[in-house]
């Protein structure tokens, strides 16, 4: 077999075993240590194992092997049993004593010590295999290949778990930063706005009678814009904080949540002449405050985006595997199919503020709440034919509709 | 007729001091403000209150929660440690509607919490509420049967 051939031959094997780990982590090399006092044996081993595509490290004695394992991790160590100086068994015992090489797979090779007691001794020293020479090259290669893969997988896992730990630390840091930002925003951004409102009012009071209609209108516009900014900051904070508190997962009776939300919406319900029908709703597992917010937003939207007829809203649920599929359906103005995804984005508004006021945060919060509960939210709707907002929530054991 | 209501106002924001004075200005009772911009300064004013050269004994105190260095809650705790101010009506003011729990362990009859209003109408309403709170607190018996 010529060198280039053996190299190309190595490719599929290496790739067939492992390519890259999750997150594009390159597969680490898996060096194999070959220990034999005969140079020609080492050469023969190398020829057999070359196709693995891994670094092959030679040691001509047990002593040299020990030196090697001190400084490097090996996927496997192939040990000749019969050697001058430290023999294979003694070398194995010493390798086993060292922390770094305690669990490195050892494979004994022997042409002489084939009797059972030797085999037994080899295994009792922690060998994973005891191979008689002459060996079948393919079999040896296949055996070492198993350990090469194991080594690479272990290394990949090590790298991945380190990265995961780093990512977790980073996440904790950024959560803390977000909280800090939220705190700063809630106080420091609102503070000047309060002043703009209050002093605009004072100006209006002082100039009462002196201002004409236009001037009064300008002052009103200032205070209106300011309170809009106030509520925008409030909503943004709410969005940022959604799901960032301590994780809560308890049995939540959706029925009670919806009843409370409907009671809270008594004013818009009366004003729009809406009919809200609530079917029998189940127990779900989750955070009651977040779920209240979710249903508040959806029901408020159902009441807000109504057409010429009074709103008809229906809340229902049906079981879907381990989840409940909840639906909040209205007979309102509906949503064009091209907007079905966009409406869940932050600050996305489809209508002018004059007609349908709002910051464009409600549905973004809804999506965040549902995703926090490992669920999915979407809308079935056509313009003029109402909207059916659907989401899934994990069922709670013993929950019945 | 009783004299003016002596108010200790602790806020590092001069705009807020101005707005508070404006808000209380519409109430019938005459409120006289004594201002400090830090907790340390407020404690100094209280130490000499009622003494020659000091401010008059306060009938009411308003503390901004968000003070530089010593916070409003720390100031509250420090003030309450002095037996003279155990029953002083204190209103904690905050710019953001969060963390009510800062009043834990405080008697709600003499300590209350209020978020700073943004509209003048709300300022006037807050001033009226604070005045009602002060009067109710002033009528409290001085016995130490403080519940929690």
A191 Cα to chain B: minimum distance (Å):
6
Cβ <8 Å between A195 and B66: no
| Pairwise CA distance, residues B72 & B75, whole Å | 5
Residues A129-176 have pLDDT tens digits of 999 988 899 999 999 999 999 999 999 999 999 999 999 999 888 877
Could you say which of A187, A191, A197 has the minimum Cβ distance to residue B119? A197
Q: Quick check: bond before A155 cis, omega within 30? A: no
Q: H or E stretch including A272?
A: helix A266-272
Q: Which of B96, B99, B121 to mutate to test the interface with A (most CBs of A within 10 A)?
A: B96
Q: Which tokens is A51 given?
A: 């196709």
Q: Does B13 touch chain A (CB under 8 A)?
A: yes
Q: What percent of chain A has pLDDT over 90?
A: 45
What pLDDT is recorded for position A5? 36
Q: Which of A179, A182, A194 to mutate to test the interface with B (most CBs of B within 10 A)?
A: A194
Cβ <8 Å between B118 and A230: yes
A200 Cα to chain B: minimum distance (Å):
9
More confident residue, B99 or B121: B121
Which residues of chain A does B22 touch, with a Cβ-Cβ cutoff of 8 Å? 202
Burial class (CB in 10 A: 0-12, 13-18, 19+), A124: exposed
Centre a 10 Å sphere on the Cβ of residue A202 and count the other Cβ atoms it contains: 15
Cβ <8 Å between B118 and A198: yes
Cβ <8 Å between A198 and B121: no
| Pairwise CA distance, residues A88 & A359, whole Å | 76
Cβ <8 Å between B119 and A201: yes
Instruction: For residue B124, give the chain A residue with the closest CA.
Output: A198
Instruction: For residue A205, give the chain B residue with the closest CA.
Output: B120
Q: What is the mean pLDDT of residues B132-139?
A: 87
What pLDDT is recorded for position A15? 40
Alpha carbon A176 to its chain's center: 18
Residue A288 pLDDT exceeds 60? yes
Instruction: For residue B15, give the chain A residue with the closest CA.
Output: A195
Question: How large is the ipTM?
Answer: 0.80
Q: Which tokens is A25 given?
A: 């982590």
Centre a 10 Å sphere on the Cβ of residue A203 and count the other Cβ atoms it contains: 16
Cβ <8 Å between A187 and B96: yes
Instruction: For residue A203, give the chain B residue with the closest CA.
Output: B120
| Pairwise CA distance, residues A8 & A13, whole Å | 9
Q: Quick one: pLDDT band at residue A100, thresholds 50, 70, 90?
A: confident
The residue among A301, A313, A278 whose CA lies nearest residue A351 is A301
What pLDDT is recorded for position B65? 87
Q: What is the mean pLDDT of residues A89-103?
A: 90
Residue B145 pLDDT exceeds 50? no
Q: Which of B16, B118, B121 to mutate to test the interface with A (most CBs of A within 10 A)?
A: B118
Cβ <8 Å between B96 and A193: no
Cβ <8 Å between A191 and B13: yes
Q: Does B114 touch chain A (CB under 8 A)?
A: no
Which residues of chain A does B117 touch, with a Cβ-Cβ cutoff of 8 Å? 194, 198
Residues A255-270 have pLDDT tens digits of 999 999 999 999 889 9
Q: What is the mean pLDDT of residues A340-363?
A: 76
What pLDDT is recorded for position A161? 93
Residue B45 pLDDT exceeds 60? yes
Q: Does B146 touch chain A (CB under 8 A)?
A: no
Q: What is the mean pLDDT of residues B50-54?
A: 90
Residue A392 pLDDT exceeds 90? yes
Cβ <8 Å between A201 and B120: yes
The residue among A52, A73, A222, A36 whose CA lies nearest residue A144 is A52
> Which of A46-60, A334-348, B82-96 shows the lowest mean pLDDT across its residues?
A334-348
More confident residue, A197 or A24: A197
Q: H or E stretch including B62?
A: strand B60-64
| Pairwise CA distance, residues B73 & B67, whole Å | 9
Which residues of chain A does B15 touch, with a Cβ-Cβ cutoff of 8 Å? 195, 199
Is there a contact between A135 and A107 (Cβ–Cβ < 8 Å)? no
Residue B145 makes CB contacts below 8 A (sequence gap 6+) with none
Cβ <8 Å between B118 and A187: no
């Amino acid at each position: 077999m010529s060198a280039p051939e053996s190299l190309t031959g190595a490719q599929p094997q290496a790739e067939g075993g492992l390519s890259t780990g999750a997150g594009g982590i390159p597969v680490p090399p898996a060096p194999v240590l070959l220990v034999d006092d005969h140079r020609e044996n080492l050469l023969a081993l190398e020829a057999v194992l070359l196709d693995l595509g891994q670094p092959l490290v030679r040691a001509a004695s047990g002593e040299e092997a020990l030196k090697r394992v001190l400084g490097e991790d090996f996927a496997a160590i192939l040990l000749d049993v019969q050697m001058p100086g430290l023999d294979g068994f003694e070398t194995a015992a010493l390798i086993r004593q060292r922390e770094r090489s305690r669990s490195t797979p050892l494979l004994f090779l022997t042409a002489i010590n084939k009797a059972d007691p030797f085999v037994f001794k080899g295994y009792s020293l922690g060998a994973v295999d005891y191979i008689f020479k002459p060996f079948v090259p393919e079999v040896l290669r296949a055996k070492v290949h198993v350990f090469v893969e194991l080594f690479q997988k272990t290394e990949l896992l090590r790298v991945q778990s380190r990265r995961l730990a780093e990512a977790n630390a980073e996440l904790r840091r950024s959560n803390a930063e977000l909280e800090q930002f939220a705190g700063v925003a809630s106080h420091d951004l609102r503070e000047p706005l309060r002043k703009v409102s209050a002093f605009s009012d004072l100006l209006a009071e002082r100039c009462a009678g002196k201002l004409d209609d236009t001037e009064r209108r300008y002052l009103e516009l200032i205070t209106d814009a300011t309170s809009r900014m106030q509520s925008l900051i409030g909503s943004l904070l709410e969005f940022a904080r959604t799901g960032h508190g301590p994780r809560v997962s308890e049995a939540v009776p959706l029925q009670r949540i919806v009843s409370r939300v409907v009671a809270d919406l008594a004013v818009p319900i009366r004003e729009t002449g809406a009919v809200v029908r609530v079917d029998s709703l189940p127990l779900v597992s989750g955070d009651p405050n977040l779920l209240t917010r979710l249903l508040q937003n959806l029901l408020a939207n159902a009441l807000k985006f109504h057409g010429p007829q009074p709103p008809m809203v229906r809340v229902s649920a049906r079981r879907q595997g381990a989840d409940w599929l909840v639906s909040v359906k209205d007979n309102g103005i509906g949503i064009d199919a091209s907007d079905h995804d966009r409406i869940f984005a932050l600050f996305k508004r489809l209508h002018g503020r004059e007609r349908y006021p709002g910051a464009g945060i409600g549905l973004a919060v809804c999506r965040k709440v549902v995703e926090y509960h490992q669920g999915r939210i979407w809308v079935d709707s056509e313009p003029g034919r109402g909207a059916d907002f659907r989401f899934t929530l994990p069922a709670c054991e013993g929950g019945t509709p | 007729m009783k004299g003016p209501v002596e108010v200790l106002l602790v806020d590092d924001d001069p705009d807020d001091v101005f707005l508070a004075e404006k808000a209380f200005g519409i109430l019938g009772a005459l409120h006289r403000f004594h201002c400090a911009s830090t907790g340390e300064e407020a404690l100094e004013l209280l130490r000499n209150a009622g003494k020659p050269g000091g401010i008059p004994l306060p009938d009411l105190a308003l503390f901004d929660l968000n003070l530089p260095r010593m916070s409003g809650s720390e100031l509250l705790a420090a003030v309450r440690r002095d037996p003279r101010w155990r029953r002083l009506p204190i209103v904690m003011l905050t710019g953001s509607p969060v963390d009510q729990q800062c009043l834990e362990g405080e008697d709600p009859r003499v300590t209350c919490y209020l978020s700073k209003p943004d509209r003048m109408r709300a300022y006037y309403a807050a001033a009226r509420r604070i005045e009602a709170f002060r009067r109710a607190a002033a009528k409290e018996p001085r016995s130490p049967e403080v519940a929690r």
